[in-house]
A and B are shown apart, each in its own frame.
Chain A
Amino acid sequence: MTATGSTTDDTSGFYRGPIRTTWAIFGARSSELRWAVLLRLLQAVFAGVPVAAVAWIVEQIRVDDFDRGDAWLAGAAVTLSIVAQYLAAWASNRYAWVSTFEVIGEARVRSLAHVQRLPLGVLSSRRSGDVSAALTSDYEMVSTFVSTSLPVLYGAIGLPIAVLFGLVFIDVALTLAVAVSIVVAIPTFLWINARFAVAARERAGLLAIANTRVVEYVRGINEARAYNQVGRQLASFRAAVGDVRRINDQTAVKLVPMAFVAIGIVMLGVPISIAAVSYRALGGPVDIGTAVIFLVLVLQVYAPLVQVGVQVENLRLGDASLQQIGDVMDLAPQEHPAEVRAEPSSADVTFDGVAFGYEPDEPVLGDVGFTASAGTMTALVGSSGTGKTTILNLIARFWDPTEGTVRIGGVDVRDLTSDQLFDAVTVVFQDVYLFQGTIRDNIAFGRSGATDEEIHAAAMAAQAHDFIVALPEGYDTRVGEGGGTLSGGERQRVSIARAILKDAPIVLLDEPSASVDPLNERAIHEALTALVRDKTLIVVAHRLSTIRSATQILVLGRDAEGPSRIVERGDHDELLAASGAYAHQWGERARAAEWQVRT
């Protein structure tokens, strides 16, 4: 499965136009899609039989040679063709539907495998919504497009070609007359489609701006009311809503007439064909029987092309979805060695000349170097936006540095297997994530095969056991996804219990700063204390007592436009004595801690 996945995304990206990308998704199962198309064409050919029969009947009537036997023959041919059409349609749909559903399922799994290899930073950024959409609704749209529209499109194009091919043998000039409108319509159609795309993009851009203003009103409604400014905001909302209408109107003026141009050109083949029949047959070189055939067939040639128009919308939507999926599939995965190359010699963490930026030309961190020795605590402080959390993220390989190396026990983290890395490192996130499942499952997640005793012990150390057993179903209480069962502080303690059970030698902690009540705060603090005992702790620190107790404090800062770097380092007493940035910040924080509100 992954093998075919890599063949599709190795050359020049996943997306290569809607049709080629679709075939690439089918990969080894392309033959099934080919069968769906071929059977659809076969069905179209069978559908030609009744039309031919009708033409034949008309011709027999014209030459006054139509009898009962002919009627039986025609009836049998028509009936047989319907049966054949049914079989072909059934087989074609079976390939088109069942194969597509299965192939899209396989493609989803491939994408899922790809997502699993993306840097964690990508998945915790704003892009995660795009990734979810690509794997769910975008693939669904592709599935609809491939199963219903693609065979129709191929069929709609194939049938007229087949009919025209047959007609060529009867009369070349008349065939050209029937074909000319189609030939003119194709470039027109392509041109219009390109215009559509441009206009749609323009509209999307304008709408995005107007929609932001529309949403602004909703988001700010309570502020607006608090300041008695609803009128002003509503006026701006109404203007934005009016803009949306205007943008849509303008786009419609441009696009709607065009939608009918191509199909109208095709249908102009009818008068052209009548005129050509007149010119060639009445007093011309062509016999009347041929004229009859062309007149009966002409409307049937154009009918399937009219259907194309209906499917074009699906083609456009499917195309957009394929591009979205392509954007996700083209994100560079993160490589982990498959086999153990080196064992970390200790739980030391070392940064050596590390630089990092989300965008290549916008460095966030520059030349960061430090060592956090096993069994010590390193506190990261600095104003917001100086990259404290980024340092934690680089250790856990949410991102990889653009320059320099991060080492654990002397080994570059990029040379550790995923298991090695995360056996060594525990990350305690600010926003707690609990799975759908019981509390027991959620804690046991920390170590596979943990016994109930171990789970209870971890919960006790995390100050969570008491509230868990007080729940009606105890450890079997279900939590997760919008689960209102636990408070924020309780969820946090369950996640710490999970980390305690894992017992990794290095703990990366983004110290909780959002406020909880003092009882919860104390319990969380106790839980963290149990977690970090005898570990290498690297913490983005908020609390004064935490900072003061650090073995080393790294003060991050940036001057003017440059990237953030370590501007001061040392323990609390040394840094205070240095009277630099840290001493100033400390003074401010100490003042904040003493503050009492007065009116």
Chain B
Amino acid sequence: MASDGAGSALDDTGTASTSSGSSTAGSTPSMTDGFRMLLPFARVGRGAYIASAVTALAGTLCQLGPFYAVYRALLGVVDDTATRSDLYRWAVIAGVFVVAQHGLMAWSTWMSHRAAFATLEQVRLRIGDRLGKVPLGFVTKRRSGEVQRTVNDDVERLELFLAHAIPDLFAAAGTLVITTAWLFVVDWRLALAALAVLLVCAPIMAFGVRLGAEGLEEYHRSLGRMNGSIVEFIRAMPVVRTFSRSEEVFAETREAIEDAARYQAQWGREFLPAFSAYYVLIVSNVVTIAPVGAWLWLTDRLSTADLLFFFIVGLGYLVSVTRLFEFTSQLTNLTMAAGLVLELDEATPLPEVDERAVLGDARVVVDDLSFSHSPLEPGASPRLVLDGVSFVAEPGTVTAFVGPSGAGKTTLAKLLCRFWDVDDGSISIGGVDVRAMPASQLMEQISFVFQETFLFDDTVSGNIRLGRPDASDAEVESAARSAQAHGFIERLPQGYATRLGERGARLSGGERQRIAIARALLKGAPIVVLDEATAYADPENEAALQDALSELVAGRTLIMIAHRLSTISGADQILVVDAVDGGPGTIVERGEHRELLQAGGLYARLWEASELTERVSLGDAVRGDDRERA
């Protein structure tokens, strides 16, 4: 997303090298990327992670205790040396080790959980910090949903891995290494025999995985198709049913479901023989231990004690290999959350100056501006959105952008607020380039009200006071009155103390906008940017919203986008923005309403279209009156 970050990305070289492998675009990033990405965040809990690992190892050692106790008890019974008290002693030892093992594992798991939660906190804080610094344009409406999901869900999913990885990994690996070593110490020949099944299992599994790989891919594809089809089925249901086409669409989706089930079953059939063989053999080293052990014992090369040791301690311990396998499959979770962190790291903040500039009056000068959007898909070339745009907005005047949708008007408005930086040319306010003043100073100069407004999960007065945190209650109320909001606020259950936001009082679109205007009034910035601020207002309240806007813009430098031309017909200058033949947006006409009408260009056509729309009414069409008139 970093539109102009080619140079400034260099200071983030630590992450740049990993970016090629892990992007959010669905390619599967490697595990090492995920590890490297998350390592810095694990630093805060490093002590706990290490302690957890050491404890898990100790627990694993204890796990051998009961096995050894049973072995000694059995040995005593077999060679007829055991006394009752011997066996009671071994029982107690076994008990102590069982308690110790589970206690240590619980402790290890608890520590790793604490460490994991600390890591998750670090990842989230990092995301939060960066969000406050990336270009304003980074968090688009669509992107906002993704970021929300990642911050909550993807990061949370890391916990499963981080909290269980250390104890499980060390327990499984520890069991394997320690047991194998002990077996070798006791008798290296039988130890080799005990390991022999691995030699068979490994190629079987590799073969099975390769055999199933193609089917698995096919299955994943069909699963993707099925999920897409189901989601579309549900989304399309209203349209489908009102057009009486349920049967066909149902049949399509059913086919997708059946396809997925068929491919999955087919994959299962292909993978089963190898998987079942692995599954049975990995716990069956008895098949080598028993005959080889018997032969060594019969030829007097192995003592009874050592044979019993293998029978008790050596049987089935390779099952831990399976747990190591399962563990690697969880690693993919790592990279999901890492993806966004990476992307945020790459979206370098706009260059910031610390020193406040000395500004002249609230004049906005746009000089030969051009701007390209970076495409979302990596590899595609940036698209030029605006080219050669110049104009001056004088203090106390109205400058209006009009033109077809998609010509770049909204991008232009956002550039004034420095959502991104321009590629060429400049925007200056009060004689100073917007890039040469701190972001906070720029925001003091500009208020913007766009189509939709976000209200915080806070009280009404808290939301308005965002405009000026030290405003008194009287000032908040006076701003609300000017914004035509006082009346409906008073009617809310707790008046100004009513909570808003997602779980708060429900306000209509027009009411929300008036709260936003009250907020902007309190801020009192000399420049106001409006982008279709009345678009989502309920028509019944539109007049009130307009009155509020009139209060807000009085005496300011106003730059606004409007589709309803009548509202801006009195503007001091109208700039007609058009993207000719799909090219970048440029200013194709400029002037006052009357001049532009006389010029007979795009503006005149737009004006004529809106006049015509008003003249023909649906009621006439229903009754067939319009035909007679025509």
**In contact, B70 and A519 (Cβ under 8 angstroms):** no
Interface residues as binary, B91-117 with A (CB distance below 8 Å gives 1, 0 otherwise): 111110011011101100110011001
Which of these, A216, A292, A429, contacts B238 with CB under 8 Å?
A: A429
Interfacial chain A residues near B268, Cβ < 8 Å: 93-94, 97-98, 101
**In contact, A89 and B279 (Cβ under 8 angstroms):** yes
**In contact, B615 and A545 (Cβ under 8 angstroms):** yes
For the complex, what is the distance from the CA of A557 to the CA of B457, rounded to whole Å?
A: 29
**In contact, A296 and B621 (Cβ under 8 angstroms):** no
Chain A residue, CB-CB nearest to B133: A230
Interface residues of B in 529-566 (CB under 8 A from A): 532, 535-536, 538-544, 546, 549-550, 553-558, 560, 562-566
Selecting from A23-31, A131-139, A363-371, the interface stretch reads A131-139
Chain A residue, CB-CB nearest to B299: A68
Answer whether A116 and B291 are a contact pair too, CB < 8 Å, given A234-B129, A542-B539, A596-B569.
Answer: no
**In contact, A550 and B286 (Cβ under 8 angstroms):** no
**In contact, A592 and B539 (Cβ under 8 angstroms):** yes
Chain B residue, CB-CB nearest to A445: B243
Which of these, B144, B273, B291, B554, contacts A75 with CB under 8 Å?
A: B291
For the complex, what is the distance from the CA of A230 to the CA of B622, rounded to whole Å?
A: 54
Interfacial chain A residues near B74, Cβ < 8 Å: 58, 292, 295-296
A contacts with B, residue count (CB < 8 A): 182
The answer to whether the Cβ of A283 comes within 8 Å of any Cβ in the partner chain is yes
Interfacial chain A residues near B230, Cβ < 8 Å: 108, 112, 132, 135-136
Interfacial chain A residues near B351, Cβ < 8 Å: none
Which of these, B78, B283, B570, contacts A598 with CB under 8 Å?
A: B570
**In contact, A212 and B290 (Cβ under 8 angstroms):** no
Interfacial chain B residues near A384, Cβ < 8 Å: 508-510, 538, 540-541
**In contact, B261 and A71 (Cβ under 8 angstroms):** no
Interface residues of A in 405-428 (CB under 8 A from B): 418-419, 422-423, 425-427
What size tier do the contact residues of chain B reach? 35 or more
Interfacial chain B residues near A238, Cβ < 8 Å: 125, 128
Answer whether A275 and B113 are a contact pair too, CB < 8 Å, given A74-B291, A245-B121, A264-B102.
Answer: no
The answer to whether the Cβ of B580 comes within 8 Å of any Cβ in the partner chain is no
Selecting from B7-15, B28-36, B185-193, B438-446, the interface stretch reads B438-446
Interfacial chain B residues near A533, Cβ < 8 Å: 621-622, 624, 627
**In contact, B250 and A229 (Cβ under 8 angstroms):** no
**In contact, A256 and B565 (Cβ under 8 angstroms):** no
The answer to whether the Cβ of A329 comes within 8 Å of any Cβ in the partner chain is no
Chain B nearest CB, measured from A41 CB (Å): 15
The answer to whether the Cβ of A173 comes within 8 Å of any Cβ in the partner chain is no
Interfacial chain B residues near A427, Cβ < 8 Å: 238, 242
Interface residues of B in 203-248 (CB under 8 A from A): 223, 226-228, 230-239, 241-246
Chain A nearest CB, measured from B88 CB (Å): 6
**In contact, B297 and A61 (Cβ under 8 angstroms):** yes
For the complex, what is the distance from the CA of A218 to the CA of B456, rounded to whole Å?
A: 11
Chain A nearest CB, measured from B107 CB (Å): 8
Answer whether A79 and B396 are a contact pair too, CB < 8 Å, given A58-B78, A249-B117.
Answer: no
**In contact, B84 and A279 (Cβ under 8 angstroms):** yes
Answer whether A595 and B543 are a contact pair too, CB < 8 Å, given A112-B233, A270-B98.
Answer: yes
**In contact, B291 and A274 (Cβ under 8 angstroms):** no
Which of these, A264, A481, A489, contacts B232 with CB under 8 Å?
A: A481
Chain B residue, CB-CB nearest to A136: B227
**In contact, A521 and B610 (Cβ under 8 angstroms):** yes
**In contact, B618 and A596 (Cβ under 8 angstroms):** no
**In contact, A435 and B232 (Cβ under 8 angstroms):** yes
Interfacial chain B residues near A67, Cβ < 8 Å: 298
Chain A residue, CB-CB nearest to B98: A267
Pick the most buried of B297, B510, B540: most chain A CB atoms within 10 A of its CB.
Answer: B540
Pick the most buried of B80, B397, B466, B550: most chain A CB atoms within 10 A of its CB.
Answer: B466
**In contact, A425 and B242 (Cβ under 8 angstroms):** yes
Interfacial chain B residues near A124, Cβ < 8 Å: 237-238
The answer to whether the Cβ of B478 comes within 8 Å of any Cβ in the partner chain is no
Chain A nearest CB, measured from B234 CB (Å): 5
Interfacial chain A residues near B238, Cβ < 8 Å: 120, 123-124, 398, 427, 429, 433
**In contact, A267 and B417 (Cβ under 8 angstroms):** no
**In contact, B568 and A596 (Cβ under 8 angstroms):** yes
Interface residues of B in 439-481 (CB under 8 A from A): 439-440, 443-444, 446-448, 453-454, 456-457, 466-467, 469
**In contact, B87 and A277 (Cβ under 8 angstroms):** yes
Chain A residue, CB-CB nearest to B625: A549
Interfacial chain A residues near B540, Cβ < 8 Å: 382-384, 585, 588-589
Interface residues as binary, B338-381 with A (CB distance below 8 Å gives 1, 0 otherwise): 00000000000000000000000000000000000000000000
Selecting from A11-19, A219-227, A452-460, the interface stretch reads A219-227
For the complex, what is the distance from the CA of A131 to the CA of B439, rounded to whole Å?
A: 44
**In contact, B614 and A260 (Cβ under 8 angstroms):** no
For the complex, what is the distance from the CA of A214 to the CA of B400, rounded to whole Å?
A: 37
Interfacial chain A residues near B245, Cβ < 8 Å: 445, 448
Selecting from B18-26, B310-318, B423-431, B584-592, the interface stretch reads B310-318
Interface residues of A in 219-247 (CB under 8 A from B): 219-230, 232-234, 237-238, 241-242, 244-245
For the complex, what is the distance from the CA of A529 to the CA of B629, rounded to whole Å?
A: 14
**In contact, B261 and A227 (Cβ under 8 angstroms):** no
**In contact, B276 and A534 (Cβ under 8 angstroms):** no
For the complex, what is the distance from the CA of A100 to the CA of B347, rounded to whole Å?
A: 45
Chain A nearest CB, measured from B373 CB (Å): 12
Interfacial chain A residues near B246, Cβ < 8 Å: 116, 418
**In contact, B264 and A101 (Cβ under 8 angstroms):** yes
The answer to whether the Cβ of A404 comes within 8 Å of any Cβ in the partner chain is no
**In contact, B456 and A220 (Cβ under 8 angstroms):** yes
Interfacial chain A residues near B457, Cβ < 8 Å: 212-213, 216
The answer to whether the Cβ of A515 comes within 8 Å of any Cβ in the partner chain is yes
Interfacial chain A residues near B444, Cβ < 8 Å: 228
Interfacial chain B residues near A226, Cβ < 8 Å: 417, 443, 446-448
Interface residues of B in 472-522 (CB under 8 A from A): 501-503, 506, 508-510, 519
Interface residues as binary, B608-630 with A (CB distance below 8 Å gives 1, 0 otherwise): 01101111111111111011000
Chain A nearest CB, measured from B144 CB (Å): 6
**In contact, A256 and B106 (Cβ under 8 angstroms):** yes
**In contact, B234 and A131 (Cβ under 8 angstroms):** yes
Selecting from B176-184, B384-392, B403-411, the interface stretch reads B403-411
The answer to whether the Cβ of B336 comes within 8 Å of any Cβ in the partner chain is no
The answer to whether the Cβ of B415 comes within 8 Å of any Cβ in the partner chain is no
Interfacial chain A residues near B129, Cβ < 8 Å: 234
**In contact, B243 and A446 (Cβ under 8 angstroms):** yes
Chain B nearest CB, measured from A383 CB (Å): 5
Which of these, A54, A94, A233, A291, contacts B269 with CB under 8 Å?
A: A94
For the complex, what is the distance from the CA of A249 to the CA of B294, rounded to whole Å?
A: 52
**In contact, A377 and B619 (Cβ under 8 angstroms):** yes
Interfacial chain A residues near B403, Cβ < 8 Å: 517
Interfacial chain A residues near B148, Cβ < 8 Å: 215, 218-219
The answer to whether the Cβ of A62 comes within 8 Å of any Cβ in the partner chain is yes
Interfacial chain B residues near A521, Cβ < 8 Å: 563, 609-610, 613
**In contact, A545 and B614 (Cβ under 8 angstroms):** yes
Chain B nearest CB, measured from A58 CB (Å): 6
Answer whether A94 and B106 are a contact pair too, CB < 8 Å, given A219-B148, A517-B404, A517-B405.
Answer: no
Interfacial chain B residues near A268, Cβ < 8 Å: 95, 98-99
**In contact, A546 and B619 (Cβ under 8 angstroms):** yes
Chain B residue, CB-CB nearest to A131: B234
**In contact, B538 and A61 (Cβ under 8 angstroms):** no
Q: Which 8 A-B pairs have the closest CB atoms?
A: A549-B619, A105-B261, A278-B87, A549-B617, A264-B102, A271-B95, A97-B268, A274-B91
Q: A549-B618, A599-B555 are in contact. List 12 more A-B contacts (CB 8 A).
A: A58-B74, A101-B265, A271-B98, A383-B541, A396-B242, A418-B241, A425-B242, A519-B605, A520-B405, A533-B627, A548-B617, A551-B623
19 contacts between A and B (CB under 8 A): A51-B315, A58-B311, A101-B264, A105-B258, A116-B246, A131-B234, A218-B147, A226-B446, A277-B73, A296-B312, A299-B70, A377-B619, A384-B540, A588-B543, A595-B546, A595-B567, A597-B567, A599-B555, A599-B558
